[in-house]
Amino acid sequence: MTVACALSGRVNGVRYLAVSVARGPNGGLAVDAPPALFAAPPLAQVTAPAEESGVSGPEAAEIEALARDFLDAYLTGAEPSALERLLAPGARLVPARLEAAAVEVTDVIELGAPSPRLRSVGVDARVRSETGGATYPLRYRLDLVRTDRWYVRSIAGGSA
């Protein structure tokens, strides 16, 4: 990991240190070697995000229903069969089991150009915890594939 350090006093400026970080067996992080001075890392090239729009076409209702059913099964820890019937053949996924009392899908948007057999959608949801009652927003990217109907091929996500 590269860390930028702003210096003040007799020596002003920014210095970059490379720090070696290791992950422990329990998931914790630790610096495992002394830092080293390095040149500034190159600047990233960021492209503007594509315009987001709702799912369109004659399959929009089917895709939105799939997104709702899938997130509900994935986040609440429903029976494995409830999740498996929504997954593409051969896809494997471990449910998140967030102990969610309620999952409300608030938006389903098209990500990229749709094709007849493959689609990527962004799904915004509000999740209410059954243990504390807190509500928090989440966004997931679902990659879908169509065979006899639409199925979820993969999921990626985080907080909205």
Per-residue pLDDT tens digits for 40-67: 877 777 665 556 678 888 899 999 999 9
pLDDT in tens, 18-42: 888 888 788 788 888 888 888 887 7
Class assignment of domain 53-159?
A: alpha beta
Q: Is pTM, for the whole model, over 0.75?
A: no
Write the CA distances from 4 to 1, 12, 13, 31, 39, integer angstroms.
10, 13, 10, 16, 10
12 compared with 59, residue with greater pLDDT: 59
Instruction: Report pLDDT for 48.
Output: 58
Each domain of the chain, given as residue ranges in start order, spans 2-38, 53-159
